[in-house]
Structure 1
Amino acid sequence: MLVARQTSGFASDFHNCYTHGVSFVSLGLNNIPVSLVSEPPSDVDAVLSVLIDSMTNTSLLPPSVTIPPLSHGTAIPLAAVLLEYPVAYVPTSLEHPFLSNITLDVYECVLLNVLEQNSSYTLLKFSCPSELAGQHTNMDPEHIIAFLTEKFTGRMNKLLPGASFQILHNIQTLDRVAL
């Protein structure tokens, strides 16, 4: 959830607020994961800046904010940031707009027993290439699960007392995963 807070220096801190903890995975030819990128694409920062400015420069939050058409290289990582995923893919080409036959760590954040016993609701589900976990500690499943637990458990306990929050992790290799 993108929520703007009016504090001194907020506009200059937007990058840290909304992209903190997000790992940006650069995809190469045929969308094969190449590396982690230390910073989000500059266009993602620019769009976040416009969104934050439009939300902080008005007394009432507008029902919608219009942004210009974006390239896939901007729209895909921006969507990951806005949805609060800890992993954002940054495609360099969308000739093939999917990952194909890549071993993935798949994470699913689930709320249990929200309205009735034995009920479950998926809050978010995302993946990251398994091979990156061995190269970068912040891509290790234990790190990602700890990050998600810290980020969401308090919110869920406050908003939905009595519900349980669970993070499921498994490894999958799929024919196609859409970006």
Structure 2
Amino acid sequence: MPTSHHHHDLIPTVVEAVEAALSEEPGLRRISAPKRATFALDLALIALGCRCACLVDVVVVQDPEQSYANLLRTLRQKHAIFDIVQHLFESSSEQSFFVNTEQFQASTSVTDTLFVLLGRDPQLLARPPPDVLAALHALAATTPPTLPRDLTPHTIIPLAGVLLGYPVAYVPGADDGAFLAQVSLDVFACRVRAPTWEHAFLKFSCPATLAAAHPELLSPTRIVESLKTRFEARLKELGLALIVEHSTEIMDRVAL
């Protein structure tokens, strides 16, 4: 099929555009080659509509709002595909996300995400937390999309889970303790595979007790199915395979 071959050629083209733009932006120039490659691929997969958003965690820049605004301006001149990519800056945690605005506008992602309230006994919530819905509506109502300022971790952590496409998003409870320490977790690691490379796509977890209590929603089999339903078709169009690995782990501390 010639079309999929054409799509397949898009990835290197888009990645090269990002790499070239990175070398033009003073704040981003000094990133090491491996980190640059990871960043370029993450951003390319957003631009190509493989997922709604990614969190920038491979690089740290002095002035992310200015640096990433400049980067996107350069990229839009190189390739029209970047017109739908926006940088979102979350001020209180100082985290940067790149968002595919078309996917975000069209996304029914809240219906695809289950919310787990953390505490001594993690609980599956019957519906999305109202503050998370309010933040998503605020985001959708601004052009370019802008996050409300001064969100608390109670809102930011599950909101990030929704944007990143996690089937399970954690909502921190009132008690600040060590979340999920020494708790058995189902951990899901997704990778994107091409003929010549592999790339970490997303990783999240869910308390194993909840999978046992709600197997129809949270069993590992169901979660793997939901990931394939969400991501596989678009990746396949680009000649990529989705690899999902499930393991059970107990950790001293879980970064949310």
Q: Same fold (TM over 0.5)?
A: yes
1:5-154 matches, within 5 Å, as 17-28=108-119, 32-55=120-143, 62=144, 65-93=146-174, 95-96=176-177, 98-113=179-194, 116=196, 119-136=197-214, 137-154=216-233
- Helix, strand or coil for the counterpart of 1:104? strand
Match of 1:59 in 2: none
Q: Which has the higher helix share?
A: 2
C-alpha displacement of 1:144: 0.3
**What's the secondary structure of 1:38's corresponding residue?**
coil
Does residue 245 of structure 2 align to residue 168 of structure 1? yes
Amino acid at match of 2:138: V
Q: 1:83 Cα deviation (Å)?
A: 0.5
Cα deviation, 1:119-163, whole Å, max 9, x if unaligned, reads 2111000000011111112110000000001110001112x21x2
RMSD: 2.1
Bigger CA radius of gyration:
2
Identity over the aligned pairs, expressed in percent? 36
SS in 2 for 1:70: coil
Q: Deviations over 1:36-63 (max 9, x none)?
A: 10111111111100111114xxxxxx2x
C-alpha deviations, 1:59-78, integer Å up to 9, x for none?
Answer: xxx2x624211111111110
* Residue equivalent to 2:63: none
Q: What is the CA deviation profile of residues 73-103 of structure 1, one whole-angstrom value per residue up to 9, with x for unaligned ones? A: 1111101001010001111136235320110
Greater strand percent: which structure?
A: 1
Match of 1:177 in 2: 254
Q: Conserved in 1, the CA contact under 8 Å of 2:118 and 2:179? A: no
Matched position secondary structure for 2:182: coil
Output the TM-score relative to the length of structure 2: 0.56
Alpha-carbon spacing, 1:44–1:113, altered in 2? closer, same or farther (3 Å)? same
- Counting matched residue pairs gives 156
Pick closer, same or farther for the CA change 1:66–1:132 going to 2, 3 Å.
closer
Tell me which moved more, 138-147 or 94-103: 94-103
| C-alpha contact (below 8 Å) 2:217/2:223 kept by paired residues | yes
User: In structure 1, what is the Cα distance between the partners aligned to 2:113 and 2:251?
Assistant: 23
* Gapped regions of structure 2 (runs ≥ 5): 1-51, 53-98
Q: 3-state SS of the aligned residue for 1:80?
A: helix
Give distance in 1, aligned partners of 2:188 and 2:147: 31
Structure with higher RCO (Cα < 8 A, 6+ apart): 1
